[in-house]
Amino acid sequence: MSNLLLQIKTDTTSIINDANEIAFISYWFWIALCEFAFIIYLIIRLKSKKSKLAFSDLGKESVKNAKTQSIDMENLMDSINGARTLYKELSRKCHPDRFVNTPKEKIAQEIFQEITKNQRNFEKLKLLKEKAINSLNINF
């Protein structure tokens, strides 16, 4: 008799434990659902923000060529270190005011415009220097 009573008691305890476990699971289920909804909201917000950014109308294909374009780093370094000095020298010596009322006035104007346009490109400035030496007979 005492054994039977003990068995009933144990069964009741296990039923109560199961009920607690179900309540516990549903609690975590709602938390996970809220987190999932929040993640979805963040993704939508990120997407909408990205569509408002600059260049968002450009496709990936249109910038593919720019990615693989080779850059002349030697020229970049020369431009950083020497373009300013060379530009000052060229702009002083090739200024169109030095060639007023001479047949070289138009060439000087063209060269000066090119010099101003490429004032931070060492390679182009070197070519323009050679052009100035040949066409304007300037000694540097």
Partner 1 sequence: MWYRIIVIAEWFGEMAERYRLIRDFNKAAKNSFIAGKAPTLLESKITKGESNYRHAFSKFLGGGFRIKALSGRPLNQGELVEIGRVVLDNEELVRKLIALGWDTLEVHANEGYKGVKWPLKDFANIGGYLN
CB of 95 to partner 1, least distance (A): 21
Q: Residues 57, 58, 63, CA angle at the centre, nearest 5°?
A: 165
Neighbours of 1 (CB within 10 A): 5
Residue type, 124: K
**Per-position x/- string for 33-52, each x denoting binding to partner 1 as judged by CB under 8 A, each - no binding:** -----------------x--
Q: Kindly state whether residue 69 participates in binding partner 1, applying the rule CB under 8 A.
A: yes
Task: Determine which residue in the list 3, 13, 14, 56 makes contact with partner 1, applying CB under 8 A.
Answer: 56
Binding of partner 1 at residue 58 (CB under 8 A)?
yes
The candidate with the shortest Cα–Cα distance to 138, out of 96, 101, 79, is 96
What's the sign of the alpha-carbon dihedral 101, 102, 103, 104?
negative
Q: Which residues bind partner 1 (CB under 8 A)?
A: 50, 53-56, 58, 62-64, 66-69, 71, 73-74, 76-84, 119-121
